[in-house]
């Protein structure tokens, strides 16, 4: 039953207002803009006659609810309602533009169901905020006088007919087995699904050209495409690659970093069919593209693809749900291969696009490990040195031919400090946060509360001496500048990320993901801090480290052109996959190990956080099947509340379950959360499903 009143309220004696109802389809079904879980369902309202023309599905509206005015989306017009309560009149139509298309609404509902969240939380990401003056530019595109339900949706926009016998220009997919067939299927109007292991990160055959070629083939078939990338640097590269492959104006940027006005303008261009290709960060996965033919995601293992707000959805899963619902083609592309992508291949959902081994050897740099037997015999101190002799030699030789990339794990100067005498980590006396040093002459300060500690002393041994436990990008750049005084040192990290560096000799110090591109490739690359990255307390430490290494190594020239990559780490398995340039083998091995241990992505899981009593009550309401495995509750690290120094105790329970049972378990979690919210009893429980950083 659809109700227009809060739980526990009596229905009004008569409809609010004296307006006559609309003569046709007088019932409006509204989805409220409310974060309360028990309000995550549509409510029925009466449409006044004067609002009938404007109240079309997809528009923003205002309604009275529980004594207050709430915003919402009108999602449907009906002839009758199934509630016996007298309905409240629809308040007003905020805008005549139907910004919520049926396709995007269905996708938001699927995402909310998969992640045990609310549709409201998904829609705040999917639909950008309104900018009234931008809507005026499109006013005539969304108004059809004299019709009760004027609505423009992506499915209504005319698309060009598929080209007969499309002629594809030179394409970079020729390097991969079945690559040309993948493009020809897209150009013919089919919907192939593939996982691409890209070889090149720079030059005319770089990965942006591969994505642009797939989009071009889709556009030739008369269809649209959605491309999702991790950050602004990658977004700019893809847009540049599309300039020569799709008609002018066909591709638009869709990212919050551009500001509300450009983002909303691009959204409306897609909604009314002026543009057919959306390229952007994770919110672009919901772009209202007409006649969708391809969804593509670059570097799906990058943590930037995971939404940081509830329900914490991942852009890869959003695109897979959309491709499944619309029958669109799919391309998951990266220099490496995530375990989730490997699972798509092993289940037969997608096909791999890999290059022959001979071509891989000819296209990639020579990789040298400083921890192998040969280098350890020549340099016995290599295991203790941050930059071993082999790395120094590679940098010296590489600088004779071009720029040299130095990848470090952390930003800052000294992001972690410890006692010089007893090696205990240095912590703030106020909040116990870790101390760091912003510069060589800067006093140590807390990374949590920013409190300076100029007179710090160790609480264990009383020493006043500090040492750097970890060297950041700033300190590394300073040390390399002293070691190579005649060479330019470029830093790309933190808030100062460079997109490109010239081919002139230079030392480029960058953190993972912030590596600039050299037009002709780097002459060499030094991958430092490998052991530290592999030692992180994370289920994905090895997978993530290999991804960072391969991304940097793809920017280096081939071995035939003198390109060399030096890696400093003592993990033979992960280093071995880099030496062989074998992302497929690494993903296959890692997924097999996760399957044996019953860990994601071989299974799905939910992370439940709250008080001890709240978690016990929540789990008992779920009625989990025997196939589900519960781990916990266990206490999690406590942080002081904002503005106080008192920590709030939190507990965490992990629930692992097979994919086949997810259709029953995640709805049960949503229902339990909504029931607790409606009764306002018990402590709140926060749900994160398939969180990439939870284990």
Residue 449 and residue 430 in contact, taking contact as beta carbons nearer than 8 Å: yes
What integer pLDDT is reported at residue 440 of this predicted model?
67
| Phi and psi torsions of 264, nearest 5° | -70, -35
Position 11 pLDDT exceeds 50? no
User: Cα separation of 127 and 58, whole Å?
Assistant: 11
**What pLDDT score was predicted for residue 601?**
94
Q: Of the segments 206-215, 528-537, 608-617, 684-693, which one has the largest average pLDDT value?
A: 206-215
Average pLDDT over residues 470-481: 69
How does pLDDT run across 453-462, given as a tens digit for each residue?
Answer: 777 778 778 7
174, pLDDT greater than 80:
yes
- Provide the 10 A C-beta neighbour count for residue 303: 13
For 269-278, what is each residue's pLDDT tens digit?
999 889 999 9
pLDDT the model gives residue 460 = 76
CA torsion 619-624-630-635 (nearest 10°) is -10
Residue 423 has pLDDT above 80, yes or no: no
Stated as kind and residue range, the H or E segment containing 548 is helix 541-553
Assign 264 to helix, strand or coil.
helix
Instruction: Evaluate if residue 167 carries a pLDDT over 70.
Output: no
Please tell me which residue, 314 or 481, carries the higher pLDDT value.
314
| Range 3-15 average pLDDT | 36
Largest CA distance in the chain: 92
**Nearest Cα residue to 261 out of 152, 139, 123, 129:** 129
Flag whether pLDDT at 143 surpasses 60. Answer: no
Cα–Cα distance measured from residue 149 to residue 27, given in angstroms and rounded to the nearest whole number: 13
State phi, psi for 665 to the nearest 5 degrees.
-80, -45
Task: Taking residues 522-547, report their average pLDDT.
Answer: 87
Confidence of residue 372 (pLDDT cuts 50, 70, 90): low
> 33: pLDDT confidence band, cut at 50, 70 and 90?
confident
Least trusted range by pLDDT, from 33-47, 141-155, 205-219, 327-341: 141-155
> Between 431 and 500, whose confidence is greater?
500
pTM for this prediction:
0.86
Report pLDDT for 469. Answer: 60
pLDDT in tens, 655-680: 999 999 998 899 889 888 888 887 77
Query: Which are the contacts of 125, defined by CB distance < 8 A and separation ≥ 6?
Result: 282, 283, 286, 307, 309, 313
Pick from 570, 564, 572, 576: nearest CA to 392: 564
pLDDT at 8 exceeding the cut of 60 = no
What distance in Å separates the CA atoms of residue 409 and residue 428, rounded to the nearest whole number?
23
**If DSSP states are collapsed to H, E and C, what string results for 462-495?**
CCCCEEEEECCHHHHHHHHHHHCCCCCEEEEECC
Give the confidence band of 148 by pLDDT, cuts at 50, 70, 90. very low
Task: Please give the pLDDT value at position 688.
Answer: 92
Q: Where are the beta strands (DSSP E) in 366-504?
A: 366-369, 404-407, 416-419, 435-436, 445-446, 466-470, 489-492
Angle, helices 583-597/339-346, rounded to nearest 10 degrees: 80
pLDDT digits (tens, 9 = 90+) for 52-64: 888 889 999 998 8
Average pLDDT over the chain reads 83
Q: How confident is the model at residue 411 (pLDDT cuts 50, 70, 90)?
A: low
Say whether 387 sits in a helix, a strand or coil: coil
pLDDT above 70 coverage of the chain, percent:
86
Distant-in-sequence, close-in-space partners of 329: CB < 8 Å, separation ≥ 6: 185, 186, 190, 191, 192, 193, 218, 293, 294, 295, 323
Q: Most confidently modeled of 152-156, 278-282, 688-692?
A: 278-282
Exposure on the CB side of residue 46, measured as CA atoms within 13 A: 18
Per-residue pLDDT band for 210 (boundaries 50, 70, 90) equals: very high
CA distance 503 to 203: 12
């Amino acid at each position: 039953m659809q109700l227009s009143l809060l739980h526990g309220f009596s229905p009004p004696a008569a409809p609010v207002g004296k307006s006559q109802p609309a003569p046709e389809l007088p019932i409006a079904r509204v989805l409220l803009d409310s974060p309360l879980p028990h309000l995550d369902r549509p409510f029925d309202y009466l449409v006044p006659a004067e609002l009938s023309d404007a109240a079309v599905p997809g528009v923003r509206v205002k309604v009275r609810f529980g004594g207050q005015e709430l915003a919402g989306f009108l999602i449907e017009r009906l002839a009758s309602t199934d509630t016996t309560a007298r309905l409240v009149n629809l308040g007003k139509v905020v805008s005549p533009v139907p910004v919520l298309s049926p396709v995007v609404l269905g996708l938001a509902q699927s995402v909310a169901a998969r992640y045990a969240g609310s549709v409201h939380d998904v829609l705040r990401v999917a639909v950008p905020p309104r900018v009234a003056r931008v809507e005026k530019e499109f006013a005539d595109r969304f108004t059809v006088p004299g019709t009760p339900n004027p609505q423009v949706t992506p499915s209504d926009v005319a698309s060009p007919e598929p080209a007969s016998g499309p002629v594809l220009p030179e394409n970079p997919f020729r390097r991969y087995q079945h690559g040309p067939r993948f493009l020809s299927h897209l150009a013919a109007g089919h919907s192939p699904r593939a996982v691409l292991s890209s070889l090149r990160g720079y030059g005319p055959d770089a990965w942006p050209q591969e994505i642009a070629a797939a989009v071009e083939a889709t556009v030739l078939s008369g269809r649209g495409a959605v491309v999702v990338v991790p950050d602004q640097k990658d977004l700019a590269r893809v847009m540049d690659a599309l300039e020569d492959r799709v008609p002018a104006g066909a591709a638009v940027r869709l990212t919050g970093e551009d500001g509300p006005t450009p983002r909303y303008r691009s959204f409306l261009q897609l909604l009314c069919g002026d543009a057919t290709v959306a390229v952007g960060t994770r919110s672009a996965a919901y772009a209202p593209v007409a006649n969708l033919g391809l969804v593509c995601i670059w570097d799906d293992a990058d943590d930037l693809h995971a939404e940081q707000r509830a329900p914490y959805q991942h852009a890869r899963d959003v695109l897979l749900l959309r491709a499944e619902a619309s029958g669109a083609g799919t391309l998951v592309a990266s220099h490496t291969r995530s375990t989730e992508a490997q699972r798509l291949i092993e289940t037969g959902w997608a096909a791999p696009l890999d290059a022959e081994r001979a071509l891989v050897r000819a296209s990639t740099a020579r990789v040298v490990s400083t921890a192998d037997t040969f280098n350890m015999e020549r340099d016995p101190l290599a295991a203790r040195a941050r930059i071993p002799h082999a790395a120094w030699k590679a940098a010296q030789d590489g600088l004779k031919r071009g720029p040299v990339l130095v990848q470090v794990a952390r930003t800052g100067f000294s992001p972690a400090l410890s006692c010089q005498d007893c090696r205990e980590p240095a912590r703030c006396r106020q909040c116990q946060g870790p101390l760091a040093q912003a510069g060589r002459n800067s006093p140590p300060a807390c990374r949590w509360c920013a409190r300076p500690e100029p007179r710090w002393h160790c609480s264990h041994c009383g020493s006043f001496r500090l040492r750097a436990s970890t060297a950041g990008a700033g300190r590394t750049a300073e040390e390399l500048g002293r070691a190579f005084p005649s060479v330019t040192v470029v830093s790309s990290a933190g808030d100062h990320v460079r997109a490109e560096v010239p081919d002139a000799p230079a030392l480029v110090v960058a953190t993972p993901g912030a590596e600039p591109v050299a037009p002709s490739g780097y002459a060499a690359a030094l991958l430092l801090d490998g052991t530290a990255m592999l030692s992180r307390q994370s289920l994905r430490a090895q997978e993530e480290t290999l991804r960072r290494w391969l991304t940097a190594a793809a920017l280096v020239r081939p071995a035939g052109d003198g390109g060399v990559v030096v890696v400093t780490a003592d993990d033979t398995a992960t280093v071995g996959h880099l030496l062989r340039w074998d992302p497929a083998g690494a993903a296959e091995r890692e997924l097999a190990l996760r399957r044996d241990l019953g860990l994601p992505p071989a299974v799905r899981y939910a992370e439940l956080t709250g008080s001890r009593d709240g978690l016990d009550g929540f789990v008992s309401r779920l009625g989990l099947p025997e196939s589900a495995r519960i781990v916990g509750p266990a206490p999690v690290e406590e942080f002081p509340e904002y503005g106080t120094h008192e920590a709030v105790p939190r507990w965490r329970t992990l629930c692992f379950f097979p994919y086949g049972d997810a259709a029953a378990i995640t709805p049960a979690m949503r229902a339990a959360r909504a029931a607790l919210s409606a009764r306002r009893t018990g402590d709140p429980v926060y749900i994160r499903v398939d969180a990439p950083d939870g284990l």
